[in-house]
């Protein structure tokens, strides 16, 4: 409705024809008193309701959680269709830990959602399951020397030749350390400590040298 005085109404169409025409479709019931329009109310008349639902799967830790979330969204959209048939476009998005797995099994996941829809109601049609996720965002890198060394240690900790690579890397950054950083002690402790503690130790030693 554009205006009430005078009434200017865009009635739209009776039935959504594709996924870009979502939401209730119908006609406008006009009430006339003499030569004057005194009321106009939209009346949904569509038989099939088109809907696009975006599902954030960021918090999902396994595929069962993804399926459950998609199913909940599907059922909620069906309820909102007010008893009509539902043509549903599901879009999974977010920086998801399961990004690679979802893309690798996109066809299978789409078939599973089709099965879930069929089991829920014979009036639900999945127009498309769109996978629009991305890999998880990486934490910001600490630009300090301590942060850079910690990042290096974490990256190299899984390498079988970790000690050799670490020696070479530390030799490159040793010149940038302040004299009080005690680079020799730092390297000795890195080599003696378990790999799981290496990243924490590197940051602690450099931070202590700055104090």
Give yes or no for a contact between 149 and 206, defined as CB atoms under 8 angstroms apart.
yes
- Compute the mean pLDDT over every residue in the chain, rounded to the nearest whole number: 78
What does the pLDDT look like over 155-192, one tens digit per residue? 555 555 655 665 666 566 666 666 555 555 655 555 45
What span, in angstroms and rounded, lies between the C-alpha atoms of 149 and 204? 11
- Predicted confidence at residue 200, as pLDDT, reads 47
pLDDT at 58 over 90: yes
Give yes or no for a contact between 173 and 148, defined as CB atoms under 8 angstroms apart.
yes
Q: Taking residues 81-86, report their average pLDDT.
A: 92
pLDDT at 89 over 60: yes
What does the pLDDT look like over 122-164, one tens digit per residue? 999 999 999 999 888 765 555 666 566 656 655 555 555 655 6
pTM listed for this prediction: 0.61
Coil, strand or helix at 163: helix
Give yes or no for a contact between 55 and 91, defined as CB atoms under 8 angstroms apart.
yes
């Amino acid at each position: 409705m554009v205006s009430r005085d005078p009434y200017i109404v865009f009635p739209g169409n009776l039935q959504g024809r594709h996924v870009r025409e979502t939401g209730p479709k119908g006609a406008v019931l006009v009430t006339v008193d003499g030569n004057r329009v005194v009321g106009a109310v939209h009346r949904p008349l569509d038989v099939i309701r088109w809907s696009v639902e975006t599902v954030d799967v960021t918090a999902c830790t396994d595929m069962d959680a993804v399926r459950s979330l998609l199913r909940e969204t599907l059922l909620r959209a069906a309820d909102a269709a007010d008893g009509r048939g539902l043509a549903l476009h599901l879009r999974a998005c977010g920086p998801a830990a399961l990004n690679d797995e979802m893309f690798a099994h996109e066809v299978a996941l789409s078939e599973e959602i089709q099965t879930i829809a069929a089991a829920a109601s014979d009036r639900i049609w999945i127009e498309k399951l769109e996978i629009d996720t991305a890999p998880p965002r990486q934490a910001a890198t600490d630009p300090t020397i301590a942060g850079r060394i910690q990042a290096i240690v974490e990256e190299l900790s899984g390498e079988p030749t970790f000690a050799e690579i670490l020696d070479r890397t530390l030799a490159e950054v040793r010149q940038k350390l302040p004299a009080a950083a005690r680079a020799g002690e730092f390297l000795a402790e890195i080599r003696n400590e378990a790999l799981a503690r290496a990243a924490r130790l590197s940051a602690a030693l450099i931070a202590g040298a700055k104090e």
